[in-house]
Amino acid sequence: MNVPFHRVECDGNELSYLKEVLESGWLTTSRFAKRLEDGFVEATGAKHAIAVNSCTSALHLAVEAAGVRPGDRVLVPTLTFTSTAEVVRYVGGEVVLCDVDPGTGLLTPAILEETLSRNPGIRLVMPVHFAGLAADIAGLTEVADRHGVRIVEDAAHAFPARYPSTGDVVGSADSVACCFSFYANKTITTGEGGMLVTNDDDVAARARLMRLHGIDRDVWKRFQDPGPSWRYDVVEAGFKYNLPDLNAAVGVAQLERAESLREARQRLADRYFAGLGNVAGLDLPPRADGRDAHAWHLFTVHVRPDASVDRDTLSERLAAMGVATSVHYRPLHRMSFWKAQSDSRPESFPGAERRWEGTLSLPLFPGMTDAEQDHVCTSIAAVIGSDAPLIEIPPPAELPAGTVD
């Protein structure tokens, strides 16, 4: 049996909404993008939602709207996808990498306090709600406020999810902005896409302006308002980040099912806890406070140093058994580009180093069958539980495609 790392199932209204777009005579940003934005305002409780063509675009718009300018220093957790940091470079800022908690992979208020005390002059911090588990935004905000630092949340993994302690929906906090991803393997997808949400009117106005070339008529209003669409002014050198309706139509259908998709992930996560709880040398990921709090974008296990095999061997043996896995992430301080930009000494990132050495992400997607998941669990037990695999390893077949992020 081959179990892919991810497989999208578009078994809601995706096809009928797409048909509507195709038959409408207008394929780019219009009614469905607006519907998706309205849906996010409702789902997160944030005042504004701005649909864009990726989470990277949303993060860029957020950092720009936060006023980060050339030379400004921005704190980014080292355990993240490169997008979180690269957008700081887009605006000429300097990336300062910081450590994370080894158990959760999250930036904690204590780590933030310690890092800000050592690094004066940080302007912005970008916590990542890693794997779908939200960071302690109340605690982070308290520390950041005391140091005069603003927050942009990277919630690429975390829709829908809830903050610990308050139980509020991720996206509702008073940070500069919170950015979601609709990339192909995310909890809801548009193929490529993203959403910026904010409670700040000025940030929303700036992000809307910069989303479409710095044109003073919003992408949506330009084609809805009376008067010719050519009657606009260009007031900034903006970007081309709008989300086409072709993608938004899929997003609206996915959003309708977001809670049931999350429940399916939760059920599979529970099955992993049951199926892998007794595997020696394997630590399972932290759970959230409430049952509906974790988005379960990723299920990351940790292969302890005392396990019978190391992470790389486990991953290779699982691949030979038809089970695709991934690693989230090789920390940025280990990546060539970021090494040259920031402090990259492993001893500066003990939490991320500990986590990276043993972490492995297992397949987890709503359409995964129990048989597929059982195959993952028995394969892991077979590899880790003894030196020789207990179940027959089929000859290397064509493996399912992996993903980069």
From the CB of 120, what's the least distance to ligand PLP, in Å? 27
Binding-residue pattern over the window 278 to 307 for ligand PLP, x denoting contact by CB under 6 A:
------------------------------
User: In the structure encoding, which two tokens stand for residue 109, read together?
Assistant: 């208020």
Query: Does 359 engage in binding with ligand PLP (CB under 6 A)?
Result: no
Least distance (Å) between residue 118 CB and ligand PLP: 24
The residue count for the chain? 405
Catalytic amino acids? Answer: 186
CB 107 within 8 A of CB 140: yes
Alpha-carbon distance 268 to 185, whole Å?
16
Nearer to ligand PLP, 64 or 154 (CB): 154
Contacts 24+ apart (CB under 8 A), 267-273: 268/296, 268/299, 268/364, 268/366, 268/368, 268/373, 269/294, 269/296, 269/299, 269/364, 271/370, 271/373, 272/299, 272/362, 272/364, 272/373, 272/377
Distances (CA, A) of 77 to 187, 244, 272, 383: 22, 31, 27, 32
Beta-strand pair 73-77/94-98: parallel
74 lies in the binding site for ligand PLP (CB under 6 A) = no
Q: Which stretch binds ligand PLP (CB under 6 A): 48-56, 118-126, 198-206, 390-398?
A: 48-56
Report if residue 314 touches ligand PLP, rule: CB under 6 A: no
Answer yes or no whether residue 181 interacts with ligand PLP by CB under 6 A: yes
Task: Please report whether residue 72 would count as binding ligand PLP according to CB under 6 A.
Answer: no
| Region from 9-17, 77-85, 306-314, 383-391 binding ligand PLP, contact rule CB under 6 A | 77-85
x/- binding map, residues 113-132, to ligand PLP, per CB under 6 A? ---------------x----
Q: How many CB atoms sit inside 10 A of residue 25's CB? A: 6
Tally of CB atoms within 10 A around 24? 13
The torsion angles phi and psi of 77, rounded to 5 degrees, stand at -60, 140
Nearer to ligand PLP, 100 or 203 (CB): 100
Only segment of 21-29, 154-162, 232-240, 383-391 that touches ligand PLP (CB under 6 A): 154-162
Binding ligand PLP by CB under 6 A: which of 56, 104, 141, 266? 56
Nearest approach in angstroms of CB 360 to ligand PLP is: 16
Q: Does 84 sit near ligand PLP (CB under 6 A)?
A: yes
Nearest to 386, CA basis, from 308, 291, 275? 308
| Interface map 200-239 toward ligand PLP (x if CB under 6 A) | ----------------------------------------
Q: Distance between CA atoms of 329 and 314, rounded to whole angstroms?
A: 16
DSSP 323: B
What is the pairing mode between strands 122-125 and 73-77? parallel
Q: Return the range that interacts with ligand PLP (CB under 6 A); candidates 3-11, 50-58, 265-273, 393-401.
A: 50-58
C-beta closer to ligand PLP: residue 194 or 385: 194
CB of 180 to ligand PLP, least distance (A): 8
Residue closer to ligand PLP, measured from CB, 30 or 84? 84
Query: In this chain, which of 17, 32, 159, 183 binds ligand PLP, going by CB under 6 A?
Result: 183
Burial of 206 (0-12, 13-18, 19+ CB in 10 A): buried
Gap between the Cα atoms of 312 and 357, Å rounded = 9
Per CB under 6 A, 81 contacts ligand PLP: yes
User: Is 300 within 8 Å of 327 (Cβ atoms)?
Assistant: no
**Peptide bond preceding 232 in cis form (omega within 30 of 0):** no
Least separation in angstroms between residue 306's CB and ligand PLP is 30
Binds ligand PLP (CB under 6 A): choice among 54, 266, 341, 344: 54
* Chain residues that interact with ligand PLP, rule: CB under 6 A: 54-56, 80-81, 83-84, 128, 154, 156-157, 181, 183, 194, 405
